[in-house]
Amino acid sequence: MAEFLTAHFWLAVGQIIMIDILLGGDNAVVIALACRQLPKHLRLKGILWGTAGAIVLRVILIAFALTLLAVPYLKLVGAALLLWIGVKLLVPEEEGHSNIQGSDKLWAAVKTVIIADLVMSIDNVIAIAGVATSAGGEHQLPLVIFGLLVSIPIIIWGSQLVLKLMDRFPIIIMIGGMLLGWIAGTMGHTDPAVVDLLPQTKAWNYGLGIAGALVVFLVGTVLKKRAETPA
């Protein structure tokens, strides 16, 4: 119980919430599109059931990810993916949801929400699993569940506000991308394949986290400038 009261635990919870907001901002859009053809009296049910199903599925995926990350080299692969996701977050791109089909049937809409969330959740799963493993301790899955539960209302009811804040203060996106780089560095440091090769000290852990954050910042900044430069 004492572990739930530590600053380390709450820092990890904060990281999970930020990751879910940054990488899950499209979820509210997907939910709206999937439920847009439902009768008005069924829309709230569609949103709630679809979101509940998507969250349960995501917790299951993260539970598998926490187990798989104990296999040698998989944390290194996950770290590389997180670096790519962090860089991608900083590079502007056109995003479309035209392939999300709405339905006038409640359970068809719920199924659409769950499937769409599954497809879009791979980056969330890797990032959140990375936070949980770096937090350590015996309460990794409760940490994940708590972080997701806290972030649900933020995503569903606060996504528009969050998106406006991101548009007004682009540094929020930069900080989020660098956070993913930090998680990548610290996660790679604890891969079973390298624990005997690298000193397992806080200095090394923080150093690799800073290195990951800088990689995302530098590569993302360069690619962003290229994307914004007229051809």
Task: Provide the number of structural domains found in the chain.
Answer: 1
Q: pLDDT band at residue 27, thresholds of 50, 70 and 90?
A: low
CA dihedral 218, 222, 227, 229 (to 10 degrees): 140
Alpha-carbon span 73 to 69, nearest angstrom:
8
Residue 107 lies in a domain: yes
Instruction: Determine the pLDDT at residue 98.
Output: 47
What pLDDT is recorded for position 218?
Answer: 94
- pLDDT at residue 183 greater than cutoff 60: yes
Mean pLDDT of the chain: 76
Q: What digits encode the pLDDT tens for the residues 38-91?
A: 787 887 787 778 777 877 887 888 888 778 777 888 888 888 888 888 888 788
Question: Poorest-confidence range of 72-81, 144-153, 185-194, 217-226?
Answer: 144-153
pLDDT tens digits, one per residue of 185-215: 888 888 888 888 888 888 898 999 999 999 9
Instruction: Look at residue 230 and tell me if it is in a domain.
Output: no
Residue 163 lies in a domain: yes
Angstrom distance (rounded) from CA 152 to CA 51: 8
229 within a domain of the structure (yes/no): no
Quick check: is 231 in a domain? no
Query: What pTM value is reported for the model?
Result: 0.70
- Is residue 146 pLDDT above 70, yes or no? yes
CA dihedral 222, 75, 128, 109 (to 10 degrees): 90
Q: What sign for the dihedral angle of Cα 211, 212, 213, 216? A: positive
Tell me whether residue 17 is in a domain: yes
Higher pLDDT, 28 or 217: 217
Range of the domain at 90: 2-224
Instruction: Band the pLDDT of 10: cuts 50, 70, 90.
Output: confident
Residue 85 lies in a domain: yes
The confidence score (pLDDT) of residue 186 equals: 87
The answer to which of 34-38, 66-70, 174-178 has the lowest mean pLDDT is 34-38
First to last CA, the chain: 57
Distance CA 131, CA 155 (A): 19
Is 123 inside any structural domain?
yes
